[in-house]
Structure 1
Amino acid sequence: MENLPLPPTPQGVGSKTFTPPLLDGSITFPQMIDHHLELSPKHPFFRFKPTASSSSNYDDLLWGDVARAIHRAARFIREHATSALTDPTSVPVIAVLSAADPVTYFTFTHGVIRAGYQVFLLSHHNSPTALAHLLVEAGTTHLFISNDLSVRNIGRAALDLLKINQPGYSLHTCGFPRFQDLYPSAESDVGFEPLMPMETPSLDSTIMILHSSGSTSFPKPIKITHRSVLEWARIPWYGGSDLCGEVLGMHALPWFHAYANMVVAGAATSGFICAIFPPGDRSPPALSPVSILKEMVATDCTVIISVARLIEEWACDSDAVAALTRVKCVVFAGVSLKQDVGNFLSSSGVSLTSLYGITEAGPISKFFPASPAPEDWEYFEFSHHTAPFLQPQEDAAGTFEVFFPSISTHTPAVLNANIKGKPAYATNDLVGQHPKNPALYKIVGRVDDQIILSTSEKTNPGPLEDIIKYDPMIKNAVMFGRERYQNGVLIEPKKEYEIDPADLEALASFRNAIWESVERANAYGPSHSRIFKEMIVVTNSSKPFLYTAKGSIKRQLTIDHFQEEIEATYRAVENAVQTSFKPPVTWDYASVLEFVRKVVFSDLGHELKDDDDIFQHGGDSLLATHVRNTILHALRENGISVAKITQNLVYSTPTILGLARYVSSIGNPSNADAVEDRHTRTRALEDMVTKYTSDFPIHNPTALAPASEVVLLTGSTGSLGSAVLAHLVTLSSVSRIYAFNRKSRDGTSIRQRQLKSLESQGLNANIVDSPKVILVEGDTAAKDLGIPSELYDEIRNSITLIILNAWHVDFKLTLPSFEPLIRGARNLIDLALASPHPTPPRVLFTSSISVVMKWDGSCAVPEDFAKHTTVVADMGYGESKWVAERILQIAGEVTALQPVIARIGQISGGANGFWNQSEWLPCIVRSGQVLGVLPQAQGDVSWLPLPVAAIALVEMRNSPYGVIHLCHPRPVSWSSIFTHIASSLGAEMVPFADWLRRLEGSLESADKIQVEEANRNPALMFLDTFQQCISVADSGISFRDAIGFPMLETTRAVEVAHSLRAENLNQLRAEDVEQWLAYWRRSGFLHPVQLLV
């Protein structure tokens, strides 16, 4: 038996008619109904306006009345369902398709449950095709259809489709009982006998099936358990006040929907009264905002449960507003209330409350807060029976995606994610935190509503659409732009402001009239989300937006509905050019530079420096299109071929100088060689990304999340890999590590290589024999990683994390030489997506500072994806890392994968001083013994000790951010390190340029062949690198370290990795330097004598 804790806010205190049931999990909701039949029979359950002949203000149905009717319904259903069952051991699934009044509907559906069956609530607003799909998907055995003409027609059409498409499917149809069949007169009810007490069912057995709205595709059945309904019933006990005796106006709610069922469940534990339209054959008035509010007033409602659409209509009627001020609370849910409407009502004295609930997770906001601040009407507080996990959004401060882990007091009906080892429901909802009260949140959009442009930038349309919809001329707005270069917006005008969109003059006038509202949205959103006037698509009532039964927009279906108009808008914009600028008379560089300046300045709206990045100064994708089209137009006017100009002209050369050089090379081919090289390189990088980002597999979870972490670590025999392996073995949460490496060319076994690497760092070599460690030799570029299929399946079925660490380090190779590693990265992505776990294993990629080596921004390199090839170092190694980053970024956007890219700066020595002597820094140190001098450089370095780098990297595996920098967050000066090294070696410190000249001179004056001199003075192997450092230093580019490497931002790194925080990590000190020197001397890299000159 469950033993759930008693919630904090008792209900029904002091009531003479209501006795709360047990809430500890010992009884289920249908047993609560039997409880009230015995202990609360005189307490009102339903309230409605009386008949004309009645002298009372309203009529009540008591709990005793309803409970007896539910027992009658259960008998009725058993008689009709049991006789038709072919398998008496199976549990019937009883579908209900009905437009019956709320009392009859509730009574019948709970009669199904009391009979021990599963009830499937169907919306009669579905299409016949959707209904047929749902009936089969849920395994329906019986369909009860009410006698309403429209319902019968839709049901008959769905059944006809089933006969055609599912000829062997067995489904029994039955008629729906009338109100008077379930609620006979007192005279006819003399012989009533209750059913036998029911056995307590498993809390995890299905009681009810609801379905999604089908706003993006076919609706899906959602199974609701006894546990879920019990949690719904307990929700008032987590609220702010005793609701017993309160009258909740529920006239606006459809009773096949989760909203009504979640609310009404609370009546069984709190004793509030549900006000509804009268039951039976009395036809309700035509449903309108006026008639609904009139019924609420007539039944003395103290709380109104409604939807935003109705509240917005009431706000336009002063009498309605006055009526709303007289109730204690007006609740809205489902769709956000327009902010201007909410502000107006709140300032008028209406007490508004936002309710947050989801079919898949139940009601999850406090029901209701005790004394909410009027100005916070759009915010809610999570109910304390839940434990929401809020994942920050990288591109929106204070915005979070909401997850609900399964806990003892809250078990979502759908579990599709894993949070900290617990199954959870990923809502896809985005919430914004209150700026002053961190306990309050509001819905701001959905993750799956996010528009990902072709530039990979993201737009969250919800807040922008809300701003646009405040315009008095606009009924609704839907933004579009997925996989396009620019956003647009569909506008549905209010009836009185409709136009003919084909009338270009009227269209221009309407766009101008609403432009101020669109500009407010543009000011609110990021620059890449900007909507241009040409991208406003206006609709009219002859082709309206598509809505769900609860009044929310079917977003994707609406966008699909207007695809023809959207395509026409993009074509018009793509063909737009600026013809006001005369093309250059001659196509020399100076003339083209002046022409490009004018074009860019005009589109941008302000001037900028010729070498400024256009996109960092307000440029966006629409500007890129305008500028490219204008340049093409000018070239064509002069009869110049534009065949070589690519679609991404402005993206690949995002400065006025770059554009001018390239365009002048087209107009004057003698200038073309250098520019062509740069474009060829860009195309090669982008082609490689395209090659490895097509046809990602779909993640199809089939198993529960594992209880422990299992890691696939590639490159475990390298310096960082060994340190990471040694740290992973110490973690209790990690049960297994597959240490994956390529076969050695010289035949050395993986065991020998792993032992040697661990011993060289002074790490515990015995971990090779740990039961946690499995050494694997393979090839990530090969099919199934080049390992036996049984082992591949074992890895696929168990891993929770992939650390992609293996990468060949050779700064002289070109991009094609790294393609096997890039193919290996894609294979590991596919491996992750083939995982059976609810969430695919994260891929943690050790990238490199070389990806952003040419960064020239006005700040340190941000912890974000590097979208442009212009920042990548001109070498195959950095280019290959950039390609891998982009592949992972795209995979994270279009699949369930959540990659983390750790962009690594310089890693310094290990715990015993180990520092790979083939790296550039040890080679500089060796040059001090050969040349007698060491370089002095101005500035800082942010080298991170190897043991800390390993720990921090592992800490980053659960990062909410896609990109993190792994370097020392508290740099030290170059001189503080090299002064100590020079003193230890007896070398002289000279300016970096002087040291470089001596290094170059040592090669020119050497009597020995160059290879021998390089062995003696290995710094010569990095001569090109050191020459580039001087070039960068002379360029005056800001935010560079002592030898010209870009400075990396580390805010996110320090947030995620505790080992990088100041209390856990010292700055580099003399003791560290001494350890390096001692190691190099022990290894023979440095000679005991100080100088070799």
Structure 2
Amino acid sequence: MATSAFANGIEGLLSKVLGYSNFPGTLDLPQPVGDIVARKLRIVNGYGASELGILNVIHETGNWDPLKDWRYLHFHPELGMELRHVSGDEYEAVLVRTPEREGHQFPFSIFPDRQESHTNDLMVRHPDPAKSNLWRPSARLDDVIVFLNGEKTSPVSMEGHMVASNPEVTGALVAGAQRFQAALIVELDRSVTALSASDRAAVIEKLWPSIQQANEKCPAHARIAKSHILFTTPEKPMLRAGKGTVQRAGTLAMYASELDALYADAEKLVQQDGGEIPGPGAVDDAVQVAAFIRASLLAITGWSAEKLSGTENWYTLGLDSLQTITMTRVLKQGLHLPTLMPNLIYLYPSITELTQAVQQLDKQGLLQERDKLLQTLASQIEPPSPDTVHTASRPTPGTHTVILTGSTGQLGTYILDALLRNPSVAHVHCLNRGDDAREKQQNRIKAYGLTPLADNEARLSFWTADLSKGGDLGLQPDVFTQLQQTATLLIHNAWTVNFNVPLATFEPQIQGVVNLINFVTHSPRSPHLFFLSSISSVMGHYNGESGLIPETVLTTTTSAPNGYANSKYIAEHLLDFAAQQQQEQQKNTQQARAAPSFSFARVGQVAGAVRSPGLWNRAEWFPSLIQSSRHLQALPDTLGPMDRIDWVPVDLLAEVVVELALLGANDFSAPNMINRCSSATHSPTAVQVYHPVNLHPHSWDLIRPVVADALLAQDKENSGKKIETIPLREWVQRVRRDIEAASVSFSADTKDSKRLADRELQALLEQNPAAKLLDFFEGLTMEHTQTGTVFESVHTAKMSKTLREVEGVRPEWLSKWVGEWLA
């Protein structure tokens, strides 16, 4: 039943229902429907299974909101239920046998030899740290799709959204196991007969708004494209269990041949996508854009040039839906327009019309979304209050109280270590989301060979926080007051690194920046706020042929390449806005007063540690490239826009960050910061901007032979062989072909023709991990990609003695890193 139809008729029905409703399957209850029900009566969420019985859950809990938390369960502590991490934010519920709890553990009376009972149910913890004992069922473990690049997704929410949003849809399944992309199988109401090609296109257009809504909440690899939608036929309805739920495995098996054909057709489009046609990489030159559209269309259709004028309607000439999808892929790549969709081509089916449309799309779209969010959040920044009494005394050595967010990550761990080694730091307060941060921190420190936490116990505190919560940052009131009264420096490092999700995903983290700005604005000791930004934030900036990015706040007229980069861009501008507010108040009051100050560092490629055994994360792009190159016995001849090797090792970068942050804390008022940091080459700004990049850059050409030697030194089995150098595009193609060929080979050699099991896929990806990052590496090959970008660092070098002492990437560093990855 569609949500809208349900909403229209539910009010009267609910008014006749007494007290509460017991709903044992909230995983299948669409959120909008449940919200309507919860406003009228209480939903009692039960949990059980045939092999488990009905399990005890706690319904009366003080922090449970019946209107918002109706999906969540609170497992009784006497059950012995453990939530074990699977991937992302999902955990499996596992019943662990304990003698004192066997009266509540039904499975072990049936299976006395078992010590654990796996439910295969995935749960997600409540996002509010104060409700960490509440868990929401999200999917079945056997529902999770593992793609060929190793990424995982739970399809249940998308499937439920499709059925709830479209009255004509009676069933939906997301497919894609052991593929690079997801597909959607749709079952329509039985009154719908077999679809013709035109009918199919019309239904897709009707369903598309709801698919787009679902896509917005999905990572890139799990989004549904129009080319990957399959409709069931009336003679083969989806298989269903006795309670009416779709049987996933059986239905997917029944439509295996149709899915294979769907993916094969899509692959044909990829193979003829005109990738050799050079794209202009931007849409500011209408002549270049029109020429590219024309050349691409001729290559895809095979039409004669004489046939195609600037105003001719392509569909009158015979352009079909598959060619439209191919055209979309070509334009996305050649014009660097990730938001371009096939419907734009349908709406503007001529060279002249589409040229104007894509230019308009580039100016709007992501840019509008970014700037609108910036404007909205800037309005939430509170101006300095004359009622806040700021202390006039400058912090003295040994008296700094530092707040560090995101301390448990790799860079955060090294920043914490550098702070604790600095004699000017009296105490460090670590703010993290998880309540197990201290344990994680100790494990990281041990792995990196750093000073144990126990050696600095008196100077260290860990607090569970939610920075997106205004007012108290998710802290206990007494803790919040203590931090606001004592802090002299706040280093904001916490940020999710994910290049595959949209800007909207980062809104809670950007909100956290606003809340931290308001925090320091009303703190009596005027703490300095130092933010860890990214060089990707200004990748939309063009500064002539020099490609030089200045050490200042930049307003770009082109959106950054992804949601992560745009989120950092917004954060930088929020800090600048706050700093200008402080500066204006200084002018208006015409008196010297202590006031918060702000700075940020655009961090580039962070390399592995060189003074400790800390491992450079194997899952990052360069370690993945090296591991795949060993497997392929070949290195790419170029890294495209990444050819400039200006990397800084993580342990050295942490020292630079602490040095710059303490500089801001010592010269804590805005006028002091401006006067100290102004120079002939660096114009004074309200917020200070740093580029902590290596001052002695190398090129990939220079270090590639060193990498090749390090690979050969690690590969005893292939001694005497050479690592060949091949074009980057060919290297990327080999990565793709290798993982695809292995998948086909395994399937053919298996009697039941099942696709790769998870463990076999993971083994392949261990050898060839670049397959997980194919989109990234393919992006390096695109001709439009900005090259030659250099981040100016004169001002940063002047301020940081530590950065001036960092050497260029040394051969022994490369050998150390390669040895750690391949060990």
TM range (shorter): 0.3 to 0.5
For normalisation by structure 1, the TM-score amounts to 0.36
Pick 1 or 2: higher relative contact order, CA cutoff 8 A, min separation 6: 2
For normalisation by structure 2, the TM-score amounts to 0.47
